Each structure stands twice: as C-alpha cells, then as structure tokens.
C-alpha cells in the first residue's frame, strides 16, 4: 500500500553538473559543455522540484535511457528503472544521495557493458537530457579494464606523444598531438553502420568492443565509405597536403567534421594510426601507436616475401610483395571472450588500407600472443600481421635472358618494433611481444605451427663470403659523404668477384625513385681472411633533387663470386638527418598566462632557403589552433632561421609544443619541446 501512496516528483529544472561529473569521470579535457561520463561509474544530476519535496520512501521517479535509432531492451540500447536505496553498478540504477528537500541529488549508474554512444535520459514527466557514455578502463567490469593508473594516464589521457619513423638503423622520434576529440562518438557515425552489417551480424553498435574497433578501423580510412582520411603514397599531393605536414589528429578530425565528412587529403600509415589512436583513447579504449621496421606486405598470404633484382642489384617489379621501411599501426587493450583464455591484452589493429578483410579495408584486432605463438586460425587477420613481422624473404636474380636464380640475402623483417614508453619520450622495444628471439626453440615451434620454414636455416647458408653496408658518421642532409660496401672472405681460398654498388631514393613504403650514385667493379680480389671496404661517394648535387620527403636512400651491394657463380646481396636504407630545431621558452610557464618561445633552425645546406615558415601547435597550449610564422628574408647557408611565437597555456602539467619547418629546400622538419606548466 505504501508503494501506491508514493507521489511522483515534479521537476522544474535540472543541473547536469558537467564540470564536476566530467572531472570525476576523467573526461574534462573533452570539454565541460556537455555531459560525458564512463560506464559502470555513477554520475550526479541535481533536480530542482516544482512543488513538494523529496521524502525517502515516499517519492517516486521513473527514468528511461535510450540510444541509437531503434532502442531495444533486448540489445541493451534501452532501459527503464526507478529509484532504489543504493546504486547497483551491474545494471542501470538510480539513487538519491541528498537529504529531504526541494533539491534532489540523483546518482545514476550504467552497467559496465552498456553500449557506448549518445544517450537520451527521460526524467519521469519532467524532461529529456542527453549525455555521452564512454568505455571505462578504470572499471574492473569493463572489457577494456587496465589495472595501472600510470599506463592509463599514458594510453587513455595523454594528449601528445611520439611516433617513431626513420629506419631500423636510425629511429626518428616524431612528435604528435593526439589531443582530445570534443565529440568522439561522431567518428563512429550512423551513416557508416550499414556497410558493416556482414561483420556486425546485427549486434548493436558498441555492445561488444570488437564491433567498435571494426567500425573504428573501417571509418578512419575512406576506401569503403565517407571515412576520415584518403591515403596517397606518391609525391603528388594536389588537392590536399603532404602527410608529413600534419602535426596532430585534432585538425584532421575537425577538417573532416566541418566539410560534411569528406575525406581529408592525405594520409599515410602513421597518420592513419595516429587518428585511430586519438579516437580509441577518446572513446575510453587504451591505445598506443607502434612502429614495425622492415615491415612485410604479403599480398598472396604465403608468408613469404619474394623479391627480384637485376644483375646490378636493383629491384625489378615481378611481385606485389613489398618490404616497407617501416609501418605503423595501433594496439588496443581489451579482453577477448570470443577466444580461448590467455589471449586478452594488447590487440594489433591496422587502419591503413592495404588489403581487404571480410570485404572492407580493415585489419584486426588480433592478439599479440596469437602472432607470437603462430596461432594463425585466430580472429582477425592473423596471417597478414604474422607476415608483417615474421615473413621469410626470398631474393631472386633475374638475368637478361629471363632466367632467375635464388641469391643469398640477409634481409629480415620485423625489426625493433617500437612504441613510446609510459611517462617519458623514450622508446620501448616491444619486439618480444610479437616474436620469439631468432633461432630459439620457441621461434621454431611458432613457425612450425604457422606451417612455415624456420628463418635460421637460411641465415646459416652463407658462412664464407660476406657482404655488408656501413655508413659514415658525417652522413647528413646537405653534405657529401661516403658509404661503404664491406666484403669479407672467410674461406681458405682466394676469391675473385664482381661488386655492383648502387643507391636510389626510396619512400618509406619501399617504392624506389631515381639513382643517387652507382659503382660497378668488375675485378675485386680477396685473399683468404681479407676484408675490403669499397666506398661510394654520395654527392649532394646528385641526391638532393631525387630525395622524397622521407629523406631515405636505398643502398644495395651485389657481390658475384666468379668461381662458384653464387650471388650475395646486402640492402640497407639510410636516413639523411634533418637539422635540429631549437626551442627556448622565455619566462616561467604558468596556466592562463601568455608565454613566448624562441625557435631557431640553422640552414645546413650549401644553398639558400627561401619561403621559410614555422608552424607551431600544442595541446592545451595554442588553444587548439596552429600558429604560423613566416620569414620575409632568405636564410643563407650556415645562417639561422629564427622566430618568436606567443601562446597561452590553459592547463597545468607537461605539454608538448610541436614545431614544423618548411622552405623551398627543407620540407617538414619536425621538432618539439616539453613544457611543464605550473598553476
């Protein structure tokens, strides 16, 4: 009888307490203009009553939450509930936390498996409010739970970071502003859903974290629909900008949003990965960008990269298989209830459109452990990722008469797999998470399981005649320098050989450009045990006009043994280092106080720099804007290009000021400075 005696609360107005709730739920960096909360954690709404006052046990309020175009109790996209004595974090529930009175503090909680997205909350007959619900890696019941506060600060809340580029011999840390996306669920927008029906299998969006990652991978590239980025791997960027010009994800996502979801032009692998990382973190999924050096692109799923060279050691295109100088993807942290126990944790995902998976351009998620153990039957796309880090490389020489023969080459894939360390800009090597050490029993077992030959057998084929490529310490952009083919005869017999030593410009994904230097020695004599260093001069006047924006040169040394007719190939990609950008902070960094930075770059080239321009961006430093400073004068060789920029930090803590320099001869020189902001 007391139940029927309860009076329904009449609500005059309400306060969503966005600043308090968003701060409590660690979403305040997304803004405090709307309510953004995490599932499995209570949030508070203050209700101001029109008449009467709240009495425990004597007041009733019916609440309904809905999300999506067709809310359903069956799929968890709709729920109705009333007031209870205390919050139940396993389901939608509400409880009053204030004493009797005309103002009611209402605590509301979602279950830890509620679909993420935009929700509508109906407060009895009193009104309708909206809020955004995200994944909660701080909640033990959430599938993305991570039990380290330090790691969560890095993999969810960090707004800036480092992406590694360059080559495995010369790793270049590139700064990136991951930012915080103000409306993260907009990227997972409704118009993209229908194309995913075969993968989604009619499950509700985001009820399963796998479905969220499928959609995320699908919509970061635009190959199947109105995704965020259009890729381009040539030097023609008409209608857009070079991928190297981007310094962060926020500008890319803003451009996509304000231009009616038209693809942003252009991206390459690290840009695709960075945007996917930003959206993952904004949704509450722990995420990091990883770089795999000498990354294999296996197009025929045989776990072997077949390469063909001519009699000068230059690559000839006969196979679509490639070895990228490096390739970036992301790892997302989650449990995998669809797999047997033991395969939770980091999952590799690749948003760069390379090959189709189940009809669309996406790759993963696949557990790192599955790659390491050679479990290629596990979902999703295990063979492709396995080949990226573990494929064998078979090199063949194609003779002028059309015949081919296998030659000995020491090329390996899957080197120095790298990501940014937690809490610092140092590199963390995570190769051991993807593969066992070369030649170990565990590696052999993994390859047997993958029905693949052991790499060790091929590496032991050549123990007599060796060839390697060495570089000089003075190798940098703007200078003439030498590189060396080092030939060693470890046999007890003298050897007579032909040495062909060439160089070509190359892009990071393995596409070759023009010749940068070439040498053909017909008679190289080697006594038993002798080592010879053969130099190849790299002249700036020769390589300057051929370099791509990646500053990469491919060196190839081909050694032909006249006695045995065997051929040996050594290949190495070198990076020509750009000059350092120096950033000096003038004054003491304080929150909401104007600050100045002096930025300097010395011209290392033997030619003048014209049309010089610095651009600067920093999360919570430059107000979400890019600051541009152009130089009116020419910068002569050896002189400094120098500007002073002003900005106002809005949040305390360590922030990264990202700098980009462009001119007619030096394009997209990157630099950064960590700025610690005090309150």
Catalytic residue numbers, as ranges: 269, 327, 350
- Determine if residue 120 is left, alpha or beta; phi over 0 gives left, psi from -120 to 50 gives alpha, anything else beta: beta
Smallest CA-to-CA distance from 347 within 209, 462, 247 is with: 209
- Give 279's strand partners: none
Among the residues of 411-552, which ranges form H helices?
431-434, 441-449, 455-459, 540-543
| Cβ atoms of 374 and 352 closer than 8 Å | no
- The rounded Cα 339 to chain-centroid distance in angstroms is 25
Q: Is 442 annotated as a binding residue?
A: no
Smallest CA-to-CA distance from 508 within 162, 241, 168 is with: 168
DSSP, collapsed to helix, strand or coil, labels residue 597 as strand
Tokens coding 28: 């305040």
Tokens coding 241: 């900008």
| Segment holding 305, helix H or strand E | strand 304-309
| Cβ atoms of 82 and 63 closer than 8 Å | yes
- Give 640's strand partners: 602
Q: Which residues contact 255 (CB under 8 A, 6 or more apart)?
A: 264
| Cβ atoms of 386 and 351 closer than 8 Å | no
How far, in Å, CA of 240 to CA of 225, rounded?
A: 19
Q: Is 331 annotated as a binding residue?
A: no
Cα angle 131, 84, 8 (rounded to 5 degrees) comes to 80
Tokens coding 33: 């203009």
How far, in Å, CA of 231 to CA of 430, rounded?
A: 27
Q: Which residues contact 43 (CB under 8 A, 6 or more apart)?
A: 17, 21, 24, 25, 35, 37, 107, 108, 109, 131
Q: Is 392 annotated as a binding residue?
A: yes
Q: Is 390 annotated as a binding residue?
A: yes
| Cβ atoms of 447 and 178 closer than 8 Å | no
DSSP, collapsed to helix, strand or coil, labels residue 445 as helix
Q: What is the DSSP string of 129-195?
A: EEEEEE--TTSTTSTT--S-HHHHIIIII--EEEEEEEETTEEEEEEEE----SSGGGTS-GGGGGG
Q: Which residues contact 310 (CB under 8 A, 6 or more apart)?
A: 316, 397, 398
How far, in Å, CA of 147 to CA of 96, rounded?
A: 30
Among the residues of 481-585, which ranges form H helices?
540-543
| Cβ atoms of 553 and 576 closer than 8 Å | yes
Tokens coding 95: 């409880």
Return the biggest CA–CA distance within the chain.
Answer: 107
CB atoms within 10 A of CB 236: 8
Q: Which residues contact 464 (CB under 8 A, 6 or more apart)?
A: 489, 490, 491
The helix, strand and coil proportions of the chain, stated in percent and rounded to the nearest 5, come to: 15, 40, 45
Task: Please enumerate, by residue number, every residue annotated as part of a binding site for Ca(2+).
Answer: 390, 392, 438, 443
Which residues line the annotated binding site? Answer: 390, 392, 438, 443
């Amino acid at each position: 009888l007391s139940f029927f005696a309860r009076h329904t609360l009449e609500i005059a107005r309400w306060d969503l307490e966005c600043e308090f709730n968003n701060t409590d739920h660690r979403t305040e960096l997304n803004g405090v203009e709307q309510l953004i909360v995490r599932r499995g954690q209570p949030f508070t709404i203050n209700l101001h009553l029109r008449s009467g006052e709240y009495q425990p046990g004597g007041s009733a309020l019916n609440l309904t939450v809905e999300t999506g175009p067709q809310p359903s109790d069956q799929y968890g996209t709709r729920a109705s509930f009333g007031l209870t004595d205390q919050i139940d974090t396993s389901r939608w529930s509400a409880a009053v936390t204030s004493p009797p009175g005309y103002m009611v503090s209402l605590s509301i909680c979602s279950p830890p498996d509620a679909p993420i997205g935009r929700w509508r909350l109906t407060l009895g007959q009193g009104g309708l409010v909206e809020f955004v619900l995200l994944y909660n890696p701080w909640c033990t019941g959430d599938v993305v739970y991570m039990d380290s506060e330090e790691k969560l600060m890095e993999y969810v809340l960090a707004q800036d970071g480092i992406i590694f580029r360059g080559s495995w011999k010369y790793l270049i840390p590139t700064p990136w502003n991951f930012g915080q996306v103000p409306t993260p669920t907009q990227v997972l927008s409704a118009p993209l859903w229908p194309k995913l029906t075969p993968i989604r299998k009619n499950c509700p969006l985001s009820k399963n974290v796998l479905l969220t990652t499928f959609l995320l991978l699908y919509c970061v590239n635009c190959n199947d629909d109105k995704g965020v980025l259009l890729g381009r791997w040539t030097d023609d960027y008409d209608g857009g900008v070079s991928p190297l010009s981007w310094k962060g994800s926020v500008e890319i996502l803003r451009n996509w949003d304000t231009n009616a979801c038209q693809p942003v032009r252009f991206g390459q692998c690290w840009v695709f990965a960075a945007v996917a990382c930003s959206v993952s973190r904004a949704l509450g999924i722990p995420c990091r960008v990883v770089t795999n050096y000498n990354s294999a692109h296996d197009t025929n799923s045989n776990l072997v990269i077949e390469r063909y060279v001519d009699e000068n050691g230059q690559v000839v295109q006969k196979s679509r298989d490639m070895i990228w100088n490096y390739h970036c993807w992301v790892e997302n942290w989650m449990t995998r209830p669809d797999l047997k126990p033991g395969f939770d944790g980091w999952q590799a995902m690749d948003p760069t459109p390379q090959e189709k998976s189940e009809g669309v351009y996406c790759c993963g998620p696949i557990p790192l452990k599955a790659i390491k153990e050679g479990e290629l039957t596990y979902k999703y796309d295990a063979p492709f990722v396995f080949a990226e880090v573990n494929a064998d490389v078979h090199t063949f020489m194609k003779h002028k008469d059309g015949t081919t023969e296998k030659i000995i080459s020491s090329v390996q894939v899957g080197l120095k797999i790298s990501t940014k360390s937690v809490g610092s800009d140092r590199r963390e090597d995570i190769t051991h998470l993807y593969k066992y050490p070369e030649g170990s029993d565990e590696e052999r077992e993994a390859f047997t399981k993958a029905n693949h030959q052991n790499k060790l057998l091929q590496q032991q084929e050549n123990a007599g005649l060796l060839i390697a490529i060495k570089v000089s310490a003075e190798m940098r952009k703007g200078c003439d320098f030498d590189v060396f083919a080092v030939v060693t005869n470890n046999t007890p017999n003298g050897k007579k050989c032909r040495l062909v030593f060439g160089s070509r410009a190359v892009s990071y994904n393995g596409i070759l450009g023009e010749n940068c230097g070439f040498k053909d020695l017909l008679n190289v004599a080697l006594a038993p045990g002798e080592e010879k260093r053969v130099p190849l001069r790299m002249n700036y006047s020769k390589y300057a006009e051929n370099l791509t924006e990646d500053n990469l040169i491919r060196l190839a040394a081909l050694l032909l043994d006249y006695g045995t007719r065997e051929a040996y190939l050594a290949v190495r990609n070198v990076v020509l280092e750009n000059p350092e950008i120096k950033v000096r902070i003038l004054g003491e960094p304080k929150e909401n106080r104007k600050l100045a930075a002096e930025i300097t770059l010395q011209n290392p080239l033997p030619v003048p720099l014209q049309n010089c321009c610095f651009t600067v961006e920093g999360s919570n430093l430059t107000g979400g804007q890019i600051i541009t400073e152009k130089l009116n004068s020419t910068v002569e060789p050896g002189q400094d290009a120098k500007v002073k920029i002003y900005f106002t930090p809005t949040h305390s803590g360590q922030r990264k000021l990202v700098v980009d320099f462009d001119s007619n001869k030096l394009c997209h020189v990157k630099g950064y400075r960590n700025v610690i902001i005090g309150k």
